[in-house]
Chains A and B, each alone.
Chain A
Amino acid sequence: MAEIPIAWFLTLSAVLFVLGVAGFLFRRNIITVFMSIELMLNAVNLSFVAFSYQLKQVDGNLFAFFVMVVAAAEAAVGLAIILTVFKNRSTLNIDEVETMKN
């Protein structure tokens, strides 16, 4: 039975992670920046599951579960923070949320 080689999964995971990093660094909308972080976390999850499958162990899958749950908690907190920012400033552009300077 032929299998997809693990290198493919890892490459995809690396590509997604880098896309996430690029999105985080270059996008200006806060929600998009936040989505980029989620993309990075899911790229990592893909790596975990692929490794777990390769190693015939359950640890990696377990890790992926916890990452998902934590990402959800983070999303809830993050969206709440983004909402309060929007309420106070009426903007979601990250460059305009910049009031603190020396």
Chain B
Amino acid sequence: MPTSYTEMYFPVLVQAILAMALAAGLLTVSRLLGKRVRNRVKDLPYESGIVPTGDARQRFSVKFYLVAMLFIVFDIEAIFLYPWAVVYRDLRMVGFVEMLVFVILILSGFFYIWKKGALDWAAGAVDRKENRAP
């Protein structure tokens, strides 16, 4: 039985070293044995066989950020559901009612962003009267 802290984590260290050695080894071997052809076509980024167009560093539309930000908030709020779900049976009705209040608050936030048009992908396609600039 490993007793000290170092002994306990020794296998992890061994595994890390093995993984690195394997990766380094394979790369070296393929470099030594493989044939190398360099031309323009070969240097193109691989995009599933389709001829790449444009620059990879293009800007994304701002509306993606909006979706990302909303996602962060709603996603993280869900962490409260996990501990609740684990002890749901012990909490009985109290837990249910409290979670109901929580979910109603979240849903009203969801309703708000939905009505405000933050979830519309094709911005501008629909006439959104309620989305005036403040």
Contact = CB atoms under 8 A, between A and B. Distances in A.
Interface of A: 2-5, 65, 68-69, 72-73, 75-76, 79-80, 83, 87
B12 to A, nearest CB: 12
Nearest to A86: B62
Contacts of B75: 72
Interface residues of B, number: 19
Given A69-B80, A79-B65, A83-B62, A2 B3 contact: yes
B77 interface: yes
B63 to A, nearest CB: 11
Nearest to A72: B76
Contact of B65 (A3, A5, A83): A83
B68 to A, nearest CB: 8
Contacts of A73: 73, 76
Q: Interface majority SS on A: helix, strand, loop or mixed?
A: helix
Contacts of A76: 69-70, 72-73
B48 interface: no
B7 interface: yes
Given A4-B5, A76-B73, A83-B62, 11 more contacts: A2-B5, A65-B79, A65-B80, A68-B76, A72-B76, A72-B77, A73-B73, A76-B69, A76-B70, A79-B65, A83-B65
B54 interface: no
Interface in B36-77: 62, 65, 68-70, 72-73, 75-77
Contact of A2 (B7, B65, B70, B80): B7
